[in-house]
Amino acid sequence: MNFIIKNAEVYSPAYLGKKDIMIIGDKIIKIQDEITINNNLNFLNFQLIDGSHKYIVPGFIDSHEHFLGGGGEGGFHTRTPEIQLTDITKGGVTTAIGCLGTDSVARNLRALLAKTRALEEEGITTYMYTGSYRIPVDTITEGIREDIMIIDKVIGVGEIALEDHRSSQPCYEEFNKVVAEANIGGMLAGKAGVVDVHMGKGKNGLEYLYRIIEEGILSVKNILPTHINRNQNLLDQGKDYTKTGGFIDLTTSSSKVKSQENQCAASLKYLLEEDVPIDNITFSSDAQGSLPKFDKNGNMIGMKIGQVSSLYAAVRSAVLNYGIDLESALKVITKNPAQIFKLKNKGRVKENNEADLVILNRDDLLIESVIARGKVMIKNKEAVVEGTFE
């Protein structure tokens, strides 16, 4: 289906004003003040979408989802289920990156690769990390460098766990070698080679990342520490880390009783007030990951499941509850991850980019419709495309 969206206010995420958008196939062909269909284009059978009283924004990019589920920290019965297509699209996400977590035994990278391909066949854009929490890193081929180079879907390595009781407790040299291999694989394959780092609440925090900076051999541009909003100490370390040029990722799902959407939005507000560049911040959902709650002795006393819906909920809360302008708030789930992960045709409403769009109701900023690769996935808040087994 080919579309023309009429009379919508467009955020690229930069505000472009009221525009018409032409979509042919999976590409944005034109963005103009007014688009009319001449006789030469009649054969394309355009469907018109009324964008009046709507905002058009880029499809969201979620850089941390557990496609196969996660968990298991409380025994086999606490393994969380696989994600479904509409879990993702209802949250406005059109590009997602999958990972393994604590369990790389009962869940493995070949299964993750299969699920990554399945979700793309169902309509969205997907990538994955090789590896899991532990070092030495599990891979599909001979190593990290080879996985990134040879396997199209592998975009980096992670989530490598540091400062967490579920980590394999690697020494600095082991971690440094992982970063080096991801960096070389990314260079050779023309990919980002990102190392996604799960940060726990250990007292050493971002020490390994600062050591990489001090040594001055490897760049931290391809390292993305996540869960930075876990506590205030880690958030403050993240704040200082961005001043060196590093990127940080805030997690929107949480096992805490209070609203993590508001906590994540509040953390974004705090960082911006502390002069952290907005371009150095991303959000991710940790969807389908287990969110265990432990007592002071390390015993698990409860568990929730991460939700894709928390991603945009945090952005919306940042705008409505914390006074952050929509243009800035959208960057953390659109333009910023697109740049960090070198997704050249993603993250912006731009001519010749892929037609990944979210239509928001202007009055309440709720998601109205979602278009992924030129195909309507969500229309009037209802899924029109479901996963194979939904």
Bridging pattern class, strands 46-50 and 290-294: unpaired
Other beta carbons less than 10 A from residue 121's beta carbon: 12
Ramachandran category for residue 7: left, alpha or beta (phi over 0 → left; psi -120 to 50 → alpha):
left
Query: What is the pLDDT at residue 300?
Result: 74
Query: What is the pLDDT at residue 41?
Result: 64
Query: What is the pLDDT at residue 268?
Result: 97
Query: What is the pLDDT at residue 297?
Result: 80
pLDDT at 299 over 90: no
Picking from 50-64, 144-158, 256-270, which range would have the lowest pLDDT averaged per residue?
A: 256-270
Mean pLDDT rounded to a whole number for the chain: 93
Asked whether 153 and 341 are in contact (CB, 8 A), the reply is no
Provide mean pLDDT across the span 96-122. 96
pLDDT at 43 over 90: no
Q: Exposure of 322 by Cβ count < 10 A (0-12 exposed, 13-18 middle, 19+ buried)?
A: middle
Query: d(Cα 355, Cα 344) in Å, to the nearest integer?
Result: 13
**CATH 2.30.40.10 residue window(s) in the chain:** 2-57+349-383
Q: What is the pLDDT of residues 371-384, one digit of tens each?
A: 999 999 999 999 99
Asked whether 58 and 12 are in contact (CB, 8 A), the reply is yes
Q: How confident is the model at residue 290 (pLDDT cuts 50, 70, 90)?
A: confident
**Level-2 CATH architecture, domain 2-57+349-383:** Roll (2.30)
Q: How confident is the model at residue 255 (pLDDT cuts 50, 70, 90)?
A: low
Chain centroid to Cα 350, Å, comes to 20
Q: How confident is the model at residue 257 (pLDDT cuts 50, 70, 90)?
A: very low
pTM: 0.94
Query: What is the pLDDT at residue 302?
Result: 76
Name the DSSP class of 34. Answer: -
| Cα dihedral 307/101/390/140 (nearest 10) | 150
pLDDT at 364 over 60: yes
Picking from 41-45, 50-54, 81-85, 142-146, which range would have the lowest pLDDT averaged per residue?
A: 41-45
First to last CA, the chain: 23
Sequence-separated (6 or more) residues with CB below 8 Å from residue 121:
none
E strand or H helix at 321, and its extent? Answer: helix 309-322
The catalytic site residues sit at 286
Provide mean pLDDT across the span 36-56. 82
Provide mean pLDDT across the span 44-57. 91
Query: d(Cα 33, Cα 31) in Å, to the nearest integer?
Result: 7
Using omega within 30 degrees of 0 as the cis cutoff, is the peptide bond preceding 159 cis? Answer: yes
Query: What is the pLDDT at residue 295?
Result: 78
Sequence-separated (6 or more) residues with CB below 8 Å from residue 258:
none
What is the secondary structure of 268-312 as a DSSP string?
Answer: HHHHHHTT--GGGEEEE--BT-EEEEE-TTS-EEEEEE--THHHH
**CATH 3.20.20.140 residue window(s) in the chain:** 59-340
Which ranges in 159-259 belong to alpha helices (H)?
A: 172-189, 207-215, 232-242
pLDDT at 196 over 70: yes
Provide mean pLDDT across the span 152-167. 96
Provide mean pLDDT across the span 289-316. 85
Provide mean pLDDT across the span 217-238. 95
Pick the CATH number of 59-340 from 3.30.465.10, 3.20.20.140, 3.40.50.980, 3.40.605.10: 3.20.20.140
